[in-house]
């Protein structure tokens, strides 16, 4: 599905397919998926278990390569006909992509500030500036008062905000979120979605989220459903449960 927008898309997928195994054991996880996500957009991926949502997230996150198709991230062509055009994919992820996980996946032996600063230091920042930027981000996400807390001491909402701060640390323009509100109640889920909206608008980022959380469907600009590896656009005004 191609978005009709004049802005250059941050994520551009063309005819992406991915299969696992061969012969009788072959499973087609993605079939001819095309998608554009522009700066400032928040896009949801829906679908039942096994529909290919996580596979698509893995492809966009440069974790697995597609079998066929091409992909551009932030204007750089990274996959062509199912082959990587970049060798250092970790560096690519570090530079261009931020990840937000269902259960925040904070490193339990690092405090909130260190969790955020780690990503900056991996990208080459020195310890002092990394720490300064980490605290700024925590303040920006209104969790600065818990900067010295270990993840185990944070509430679900606080931990997810620290995780968002970590995802934003290197100012990526593409943010991939895997069930970002699944572990949160309605109120905290709403706060997290507000933050993601703020990030998308203020940092001109594209956010792609896999979600099953019906209470936040109205927070997305576009919703796509995946069924048997095929991507369908969902009318934002229809009840998503009916469309999926």
Question: How many angstroms separate the Cα of 67 from the Cα of each of 13, 46, 189?
Answer: 13, 22, 35
Cβ atoms of 51 and 224 within 8 Å: the answer is: no
166 part of the interface to another protein, by CB under 8 A? yes
Beta bridge partners of 100: 177
**Comparison of 90 and 145: residue with beta carbon closer to another protein:** 90
Vertex 100 angle, CA 197 and 233, to 5°? 60
122 part of the interface to another protein, by CB under 8 A? yes
Cα–Cα nearest to 141, from 110, 98, 95, 93: 98
Cβ atoms of 174 and 60 within 8 Å: the answer is: yes
Q: Residue 116: enclosing H or E segment and its boundaries?
A: helix 112-122
Q: How far apart are CA 84 and CA 100, in angstroms?
A: 24
**Comparison of 38 and 231: residue with beta carbon closer to another protein:** 231
Q: What's the token pair of residue 56?
A: 């698509």
Task: Report how far Cα 124 is from the mean position of its chain's Cα atoms.
Answer: 22
Using CB under 8 A, pick the residue from 3, 63, 171, 217 that binds another protein.
63
**Contact set for another protein, span 16-45 (CB under 8 A):** none
Question: CB 133 → another protein: shortest distance, Å?
Answer: 14
123 part of the interface to another protein, by CB under 8 A? yes
Question: CB 19 → another protein: shortest distance, Å?
Answer: 16
Binding mask 179-218 for another protein (x = CB under 8 A): x---------------------------------------
**Comparison of 40 and 52: residue with beta carbon closer to another protein:** 52
Using CB under 8 A, pick the residue from 34, 67, 105, 203 that binds another protein.
105
71 part of the interface to another protein, by CB under 8 A? no
* Footprint of another protein (CB under 8 A): 53-55, 57-58, 61, 63-64, 90-91, 93-95, 99, 101-102, 105, 107-110, 114, 117-119, 121-123, 127, 150, 166, 178-179
């Amino acid at each position: 599905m191609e978005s009709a927008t004049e802005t250059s898309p941050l994520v551009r997928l063309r005819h992406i397919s991915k299969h696992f195994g061969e012969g009788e054991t072959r499973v087609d996880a993605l079939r001819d998926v095309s998608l554009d996500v522009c700066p400032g957009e928040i896009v949801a991926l829906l679908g039942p278990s096994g529909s290919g949502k996580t596979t698509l997230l893995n492809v966009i996150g440069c974790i697995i390569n597609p079998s066929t198709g091409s992909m551009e991230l932030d204007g750089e062509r990274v996959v062509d006909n199912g082959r990587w055009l970049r060798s250092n994919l970790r560096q690519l992820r570090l530079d261009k992509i931020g990840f937000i996980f269902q259960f925040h996946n904070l490193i339990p032996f690092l405090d909130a500030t260190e969790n955020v600063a780690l990503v900056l230091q991996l990208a080459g920042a020195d310890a002092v500036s990394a720490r300064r930027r980490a605290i700024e981000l925590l303040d920006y996400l209104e969790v600065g008062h818990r900067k010295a807390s270990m993840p185990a001491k944070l509430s679900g909402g606080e931990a997810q905000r620290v995780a968002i701060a970590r995802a934003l640390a290197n100012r990526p323009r593409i943010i991939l979120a895997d069930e970002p509100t699944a572990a949160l109640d309605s109120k905290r889920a709403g706060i997290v979605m507000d933050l993601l909206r703020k990030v998308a608008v203020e940092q001109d980022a594209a956010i792609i989220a896999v979600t099953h959380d019906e209470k936040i469907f109205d927070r997305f600009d576009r919703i796509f459903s995946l069924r048997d590896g095929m991507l369908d656009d969902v009318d934002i005004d229809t009840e998503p449960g009916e469309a999926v």
